[in-house]
Structure formats: structure tokens, C-alpha cells
Copies of this chain bind each other. A is one copy, B any other.
Amino acid sequence: MAVRHSGGGSADRTLALLWRNHKQAEPSRPTKLGRRPTLDLDKVVDAGIALADERGLAAASMSGVAKALGVGTMTLYTYVPSKEELLDLMVDQVLAERDLPAPGEPRPTGWRDQINLYSEQTRAMFHRHPWLASISTIRPPVGPGMLAAREYLLSACAVLGLSPRQTNTAALAITTYIDSAAGLEAESDQLERQTGQSHDAWWTERWDLWETYFDQDRHPTMTAIWNANGYGDGTREAADESYRFGLDRLLDGIEALKR
């Protein structure tokens, strides 16, 4: 995973880029002087996302993106202050892809269905862009995409009638679970595609573990579950099942507070 240090450029500049299509607080450029640009920021961000989608986050290097756009590497720096900023823009753009109803728009009636909508949209997003999982999300890019999703989730939790403080806490817990679990799921899928090695094949390659190193006496519960076929056949469904199970239990627990 790549780690954003998120301190390079000025925060103001980054915010201006993130919100570039939302408010023109300043009437943008005053003049039309100088050489005309061949690209624009959206093209750069789109190219970065496309590369990362197809060939992994590592392929979205500055030189890779430039090559994909048919320009020199350094040309990108006219549009983006640094790679870190480019990543921020890519992240917020895919965060905004989720189709979540805005305030006032129709939405599922029940609380759980509203959360499930967030869950499914987020899962689909991670599935389309598995590289997202390997980017740190503390101090995320505070762009329109992130804020819209947070607003939706908070508004869904608001109907529980908890205190404002607890509403926020509950929403945080839910995002933590959904984002992490969906990210893990997507990362696993991506590995299968990228390495061509299924999760099962990966375990088979480690057959030596059970043969040579595994000590049943030190791992009685694992052994018992194994013997009872508790691990199922495909690890894919197990992950799926556990995702839903965990989310449902978490929502059960939260709903029980409502009285």
C-alpha cells in the first residue's frame, strides 16, 4: 500500500483542485495568455484511475500516466503539484462514483436498507478500483466525494434517534467496518486476477505448512474446525459470508440501542 503523507503541498491548493468542479469561489483564470494546454486535470486523473484499475496502483506512476497520455513525464506537473495530490484526486473521484441519494432525493425506506445501499455501493466501488484498498484513509482527501458519502451515512444513522454524538460514533463504526471489509475483499479479488493464482492455489502452494510445521497440539481449535469441514471449500464464499455476517451483527447491535 502506498502511503500518502498528505503534507506536501499547501492544503489550500489541494482543496482547490479537489473542489474544482463544484464552486468557483474565484472566477478562475483572469487571462487567456500563453500556450494553450493540451490536457486538463480531469484527463490526468482519469488516466491515473484507468491505469491503476487495469494494471495496479504501481502502474499509475508519473511516467506511466504521462506515457498513457502521450506527453512527457514532467508535463504532468503543470496540472498536478505532485504525485501525492494526484492520488488524492483519484481517490476522491472514485469515492464520488458511488450512487448515493443526495439530501431530499428518494432513498430506501428502512434504516438497514439505507445502510445496505451504502454497503453495496462501496463494495462495488472497491471492486472496480481495488487499488483503493491499499491507500491509507486516515486524513483522506476532503473532497466532494468523501463528504457526500459521509453525509449520506450520517443521515441514515440519524433516523435511529440517538444523540448527535452517538450518531456520529455509530456512523464511524459502520464505515470502518464496511470500508475495511470491502477493501479486503476487493484486494483479494485483485490478487487473483493479477497473479492468476486463486486463493485456493495459494493455500495449496503452502501445503508444506500443514505437513511440516503445523502442530495440532498447539492449534486444537483450528484442527477441530478443519476436521468438521468448518472452513468450507472455497475461501471466496467464506469471505463473502463473513462480510455479510459481520455487518449484520454490527447493525443488530446498533439497532438494539434504539428504544
Query: Which residues from chain A sit less than 8 Å from chain B, CB to CB?
Result: 1-3, 5-7, 11-12, 15, 19, 22-23, 25, 57-58, 102-103, 133-139, 142, 147-148, 150-151, 154-155, 158, 163-170, 172-174, 176-177, 180-181, 184, 187-188, 191, 194-195, 197, 199, 202, 205-206, 208-209, 212-215, 217-222, 224-225, 228-232, 238-239, 241-243, 245-246, 248-254, 256-257
Question: Closest chain B residue to A23 by CB distance?
Answer: B213
Q: Do residues A151 and B222 form an inter-chain contact, with CB atoms below 8 A?
A: yes
Q: Are B221 and A154 in contact (CB under 8 A)?
A: yes
14 A-B interface contacts by CB (under 8 A): A3-B58, A6-B191, A15-B206, A15-B208, A103-B218, A138-B184, A139-B188, A151-B219, A158-B221, A163-B230, A172-B242, A173-B243, A249-B252, A251-B253
A199 CB to nearest chain B CB (Å): 8
Main secondary structure of the interface of A (DSSP, over half): helix
With CB as the reference atom, state the residue of chain B lying closest to A164: B230
CA distance A164 to B223 in the complex (A): 11
Residue on B nearest A189 in the bound complex, by CB:
B138
Q: Are B103 and A172 in contact (CB under 8 A)?
A: no
Residues of B within 8 A of A248 (CB): 253
Residues in B whose Cβ lies below 8 Å from that of A165: 228-230, 232
A28 to chain B, nearest CB (A): 14
Could you say which residues of chain B place their CB within 8 Å of the CB of A225? 154, 164, 167-168
Alpha-carbon separation in the docked complex, A50 to B4 (Å): 21
Complex: A180 Cα to B181 Cα, angstroms: 8
A229 — which chain B residues lie within 8 A by C-beta?
164-165
Q: Which residues of chain B have C-beta atoms less than 8 A from A205's C-beta?
A: 11
